[in-house]
Structure 1
Amino acid sequence: MPLDLVTIPCLKDNYAFLIHDSASGATAVVDVPDAAPILAALQTRGWRLTDILITHHHDDHIAGVPALRDATGAKVWGAAADAHRLPPLDHALTEGDSVTIGAETGTVIDVSGHTMGHIAFHFPGSGLAFTADSLMAAGCGRLFEGTPDTMWASLSKLAALPPETLICSGHEYTASNIRFALSLEPGNPALISRASQVALAREDVRPTVPSTLSEELATNPFLRAALPELKAAVGMANASDAETFAEIRRRKDRF
């Protein structure tokens, strides 16, 4: 049975995610911007939290970890490379390591770029990837610590996952990301359609995440940097994929 997924809005525009194995009762949360909404979601469903999975060290992803761990006794998993700036870890992870939640085993992917030591969690049996601020809905995170080459390599790993994978990213930035994407590809029919869908979702105060990887490949300019049409759109027809990505990221930073 696939893991149950619950998307939990936190703070102003963050998301945490619960994953639950109904057979064993094991339940994990990915990132903890704030403990209170996660505890409320657990109580509503009668679930017991067993594990806390951390993607990276920014406060809006870890601030609630101490309170949540104290309230639940859950074990904390995070990147070994980031351990010096994360809450104390029970399990320190590197790329390729496994994380088991009930009957399902996930794989750790190094997606450094937004920060160094940023990791993602891929649960292939359930078709879920928790990418936080690396690959985002119609965008990607700012490069606070990594280089464009590093981020492009990270995004390329995620782009190679099965296209039906649900990309569970960390923020409600989709509408602004799509406005930028349209500035590059105003005639992209998939992007035009997605813009309409996102506008309707936000009018109803519904989350626009998760999204499918196939949707991201069709509409997310940061995943499309290798395509001739995107290279042409930013005047980089003869540039490398990483150079084109860097130009797109620079434009987004100024948008």
Structure 2
Amino acid sequence: MTHALQALRAIVLREVMKFMRQTSRLASAVVRPLLWLAVFAAGFRNVFGVAINEPYDTYIPYDVYIAPGLVGMVLLFNGMQSSLAMVYDREMGLMRLLLTAPLPRWWILFAKLSATALLSLLQAAAFVAVAALLGTTLPLWGPQTPMVLLAAVSAALMLGALGLLLSVHIKQLENFAGTMNFVIFPMYFMSTALYPLWKLEESGAEWVWWIARFNPFTHAVEWMRFALYDKDPGVAPYVVLGTLAVCFAAAAWGYDPQRGFGALTKRGPGGPP
């Protein structure tokens, strides 16, 4: 156990120190959702009226509605970016060395996932702080705070596990951008990050409504949104935690020595198929 905890600490500290040297990464993580908050929310403030509907007890400004979705955007982009880091480490040979450590492979992957989630939460906290300075405040403090933290941590872990799973199948850095376009944008736009489900159904966009209902990202955003107002999130926690378990188990299976990336580590990145 001591060895396992030392490995967890070393991997998390490595990722945090690497992140601290990449100040542009933090800036981009905060600026992207802030642009949405300052421009998109301002432009559509009078177009999208958010009626009194769960979890809200009164009418709210549109920027307050999309703020949890923008937090989800930060978690989503960092979770996907972690898969890019995994692919890069694999091409440089660092992952091959890391996965030969005398520890269960799933524990090494869990340590990478924990580092990803920690960085995601730090970036999300930075965004929330700057958004508050701009006048968009969220009810973070109170009896609901533990549930808000649980929802945010679970969402960060789920999206990090999804990025971990994608890193199994992305073989080269050149393939990363195309793959991400088929993951990030559909997950974000076909969710409740920008508009509630009832508006999708009311507008007649049935197929988008159905996709949004079963989109795990929708449930991550809704869990955070309901937790902020201390309301029952319904099935959202089960969907998020279930997706986390499935994605992490599939990633661990993909990194198994007998298949997936595990086979690649045995023959080397330039070896024969």
Instruction: Answer yes or no: same fold by TM over 0.5.
Output: no
Q: Counting strand residues as a fraction of each chain, which structure ranks higher?
A: 1
What TM-score, normalized to structure 1? 0.26
Higher-Rg member (1/2) = 2
What TM-score, normalized to structure 2? 0.25
Q: Which has the higher contact order (CA 8 A, sep 6+)?
A: 2
